[in-house]
Amino acid sequence: QVKKIRIGAFEIDSWYISPYPDEYSRHPLLYICEFCLKYMKSEYTYRRHCLKCPQRHPPGDEIYRDGSISVFEVDGRKNKIYCQNLCLIGKMFLDTKTLYYDVEPFLFYILCECDSRGYHFAGYYSKEKRSVQGYNLSCIMILPSKQREGYGKLLIEFSYLLSKKEGTPGSPEKPLSDFGLLSYRSYWRRTIYEILLGTKRTGMTADDIISTLQTDGMLQRMPGSPSYTIVVDTGRVDEYLAKAQAKNPRRIDPMKLRWAPFL
């Protein structure tokens, strides 16, 4: 069973069992190239590979760049091996993930930190190319070494930016994990509060908006009427947004997206 991976400058404990081939899963430590995501059994092989690997960024198209943060869109059909390796990494940190090898129906959005050496893998999310249910995200994973830097919320916000570009409200694939629900509740609340102050569109489905308002006690039924009204405590809203900005200042800049919907 693989207990640790070495990727880039980090050695990371695995949280769950990932179905690597038998000859690799017998090794407690796997070495993974942070650029092409190839996995290796020995440090010697890994170091030789790092010297020779020509890849310095994910395959596919760079569709977003803001300073040192970059997002690539990778087609599971065109880059099957890369995306399968990506899913094997994802399974090590996602209890509910079931996608490993059937990657062709999916698009993958790879979050990287870029510097003079290349584009360093930090996390990703996937989504179906044709989702009948209108899901804009299937699964999301940030490397433990890159967590608590706001990258999860950044990718959630990015998924809704693409939904707005498509002109269709989106929602994550259900059911959400407990941690996923907490992350989405936080994002939904912040986004809806900003809407209540008249600053932007959401890209969210009506169900997600209603459930968030109900959770916060802001959706109240009018006496003697089947209609509901939104009750806004502006002081509470302002206080929450100020705390959210201080805690998670990273935001997506829509002007820096270079992308067209998948046809």
Kindly list the catalytic residues: 173
Q: What is the DSSP string of 102-158?
A: --TTEEEEEEEEEETTEEEEEEEEEEESS-TT-EEESEEEE-GGGTTSSHHHHHHHH
Question: 241 with 214: CB under 8 angstroms?
Answer: no
Bond prior to 175 in cis (omega within 30° of 0) = yes
Helical pair 206-215 and 178-196, crossing angle rounded to 10 deg: 90
Question: 60 with 34: CB under 8 angstroms?
Answer: no
Copy the structure tokens of residue 1: 């069973």
